[in-house]
């Protein structure tokens, strides 16, 4: 074993789809579907097709590889391997290599998309549940990594849930363009099938539960693969964003979130106390690899005339690895979110440690409502905040030194204004709206 995907990364269900054995079987199914379509047109009998099918499904990848090593052509090696076990003069009739390759790939993509749909749905709904569970857990919001207005953990989970749900919608919309096969011959004109080309192609795709490409050369236009890789990169980016924020919020000086740590789990080979966010780190690292496949796939779309072979070698890597790794990190992040821990004491501690400074906007808003120019109100609060930083005092203490403030507010009124719970705007209602929408997305699907 050489590649980490072989022994470290990827789920069994997704790796099974993209294994070499699966690829060979799927290409054989395409060849059999072509024979069935030809039989329907009277080229051969269904009995002949069944004889080929029964024998061809026994072909081992090793035998195809042996022939390929000799003749240096993968699809012709497959055709010869089928011919060895089942004599039939109609095998591969009218087809070109990428009729078989691209159509078989479409079945891999179709089955992969089904897995992505289920897993994206699962993660989005888990995030929606967390959004409701922690809707009213007020926490410190941060922008630029610095204290900002209060928000809630439910709001954070709702933001993530909405983003994951949008990926589900994108995937649904993309399927019509992505899940297409072809049976159109060497340059796409179906010359080998003559005027029966449309009917033969349509029948092959019907048998394989695919749509025929609108038009193709020797290969299906690669813009559909680019869109798929872009989708995986976009999904991976969202997953990394969530994982990154979990890592930030797990840092000891923050300590608000915590990945589930198993009873016998080891955090460090030398520091026994460590509880590292390794799953979230894994998501972040592999998301970068998924995104890295976007450019090679775009380059693989730029082919000479009806096609050259520069896409072939790259696509053996891009489609397979991006799919397996995206599924891997989606599965892993779902595990993290399912078992995530929130330290409510630390959440409150971090909020109160700001001594009201992060509520400066709330006072500015109320001061403006009292008739003070908004820019003047901003400067009053800015100066008071800077003094609070310098004196290590609270915002309330510094505001009580301001005549303009005392003219409009009592100490008790100021205390109410700078309570985090009183400055959440529409946060709670927004969580409810988002969760309702997310659940509707999957209910209607």
CATH code assigned at 407 = 1.10.40.30
| 404 in any annotated domain | yes
Give the residues across from 342 on adjacent strands.
Answer: 257
User: Distance of alpha carbon 43 from its chain centroid, rounded?
Assistant: 45
Give the residues across from 258 on adjacent strands.
Answer: 341
3-state secondary structure 322-384: HHHHHHHHHHHHHHHHHCCEECHHHHHHHHHCCCCHHHHHHHHHHHHHCCCCHHHHHHHHHHH
CA distance 360 to 364: 6
| 344 in any annotated domain | no
Residue 356: its pLDDT value, please? 97
Strand 180-181 vs strand 146-152: parallel, antiparallel, or unpaired? unpaired
Distances (CA, A) of 52 to 59, 104, 302: 11, 18, 37
Judge whether 33 and 207 are in contact, CB under 8 Å.
yes
State the residue for tokens 């529409």. Answer: 426
| 88 in any annotated domain | no
| 401 in any annotated domain | yes
Domain count, the chain: 1
**From the first residue on, what is the mean pLDDT of each consecutive set of 10 residues in the chain (445 residues)?**
90 97 97 98 96 94 95 95 94 97 98 98 98 98 97 98 98 97 96 97 98 96 97 98 97 94 82 89 98 96 91 93 98 97 97 97 97 97 97 96 95 97 98 98 83
Going by the DSSP 8-state scheme, the letter that residue 270 receives in this structure is: S
Strand 211-212 vs strand 180-181: parallel, antiparallel, or unpaired? parallel
State the residue for tokens 């080929």. Answer: 52
| 201 in any annotated domain | no
Q: Under 8 Å CB-to-CB from 146, ≥6 apart: which residues?
A: none
Burial class of residue 304 in the structure, from the number of CB atoms within 10 Å of its CB (0-12 exposed, 13-18 middle, 19+ buried): exposed
Active site residue 268: yes
State the residue for tokens 């198993």. Answer: 262
Q: Which of 144, 269, 273, 443 is catalytic?
A: 144
State the residue for tokens 């749509």. Answer: 211
Residue 79: its pLDDT value, please? 95
| 391 in any annotated domain | yes
Distances (CA, A) of 394 to 352, 382, 388: 10, 13, 6
E strands in 219-261:
257-258
Judge whether 276 and 267 are in contact, CB under 8 Å.
yes
For the record, the structure tokens of 41 come out as: 């047109």
For the record, the structure tokens of 224 come out as: 């559909």
For the record, the structure tokens of 382 come out as: 């800015």
Residue 170: its pLDDT value, please? 97
Distances (CA, A) of 42 to 36, 37, 38, 261: 10, 9, 6, 64
Q: Which of 45, 73, 268, 338 is catalytic?
A: 268
CA distance 157 to 258: 15
For the record, the structure tokens of 147 come out as: 């204290």
| 265 in any annotated domain | no
CA distance 165 to 197: 40
State the residue for tokens 């120019």. Answer: 373
| 310 in any annotated domain | no
Range of the domain at 410: 357-417
Overall pTM > 0.85 = yes
Residue 274: its pLDDT value, please? 83
CA distance 135 to 384: 32
């Amino acid at each position: 074993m050489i590649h980490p995907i072989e022994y470290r990364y990827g789920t069994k269900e997704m790796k099974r789809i993209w294994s070499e054995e699966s690829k060979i079987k799927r290409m054989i199914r395409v060849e059999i579907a072509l024979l069935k379509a030809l039989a329907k047109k009277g080229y051969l009998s269904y009995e002949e097709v069944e004889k080929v099918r029964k024998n061809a499904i026994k072909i081992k990848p090793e035998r195809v590889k042996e022939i390929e090593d000799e003749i240096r052509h993968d699809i012709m090696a497959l055709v010869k391997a089928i011919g060895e076990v089942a004599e039939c003069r109609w095998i591969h009739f009218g087809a070109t290599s990428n009729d078989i390759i691209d159509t078989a790939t479409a079945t891999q993509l179709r089955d992969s998309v089904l897995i992505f749909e289920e897993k994206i749905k699962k993660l989005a709904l888990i995030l929606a549940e967390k959004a409701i569970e922690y809707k009213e857990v007020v926490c410190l919001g941060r922008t630029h990594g610095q204290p900002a207005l209060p928000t809630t953990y439910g709001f954070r989970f709702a933001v993530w849930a909405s983003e994951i749900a949008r990926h589900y919608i994108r995937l649904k919309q993309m399927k019509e363009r992505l899940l297409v096969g072809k049976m159109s011959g060497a340059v796409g004109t179906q010359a080998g099938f003559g005027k029966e080309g449309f009917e033969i192609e349509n029948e092959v795709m019907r048998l394989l539960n695919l749509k025929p490409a609108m038009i193709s050369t020797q290969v299906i236009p690669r813009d559909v693969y680019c869109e798929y890789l872009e989708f995986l990169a976009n999904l991976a980016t969202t997953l990394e964003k969530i994982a990154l924020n979990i890592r930030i919020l797990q840092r000891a000086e923050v300590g608000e979130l915590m990945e589930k740590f198993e009873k016998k789990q080891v955090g460090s080979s030398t520091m026994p106390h460590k509880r590292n966010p390794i799953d979230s780190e894994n998501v972040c690292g592999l998301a970068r690899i998924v995104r890295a496949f976007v450019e090679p796939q775009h380059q693989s779309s730029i082919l000479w005339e009806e096609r050259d072979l520069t896409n072939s070698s790259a696509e053996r890597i891009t489609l397979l690895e991006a799919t397996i790794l995206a599924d891997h990190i989606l599965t892993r992040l779902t595990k993290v979110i399912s078992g995530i821990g929130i330290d409510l004491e630390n959440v409150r501690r971090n909020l109160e440690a700001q001594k009201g400074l992060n509520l400066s906007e709330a006072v500015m808003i109320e001061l403006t409502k009292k008739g003070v120019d908004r820019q003047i109100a901003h400067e009053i609060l800015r100066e008071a905040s800077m003094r609070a930083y310098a004196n290590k005092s609270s915002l309330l203490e510094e505001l009580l030194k301001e005549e303009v403030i005392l003219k409009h507010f009592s100490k008790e009124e100021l205390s109410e204004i700078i309570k985090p719970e009183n400055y959440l705007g529409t946060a709670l209602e927004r969580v409810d709206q988002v969760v309702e929408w997310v659940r509707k997305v999957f209910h209607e699907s």
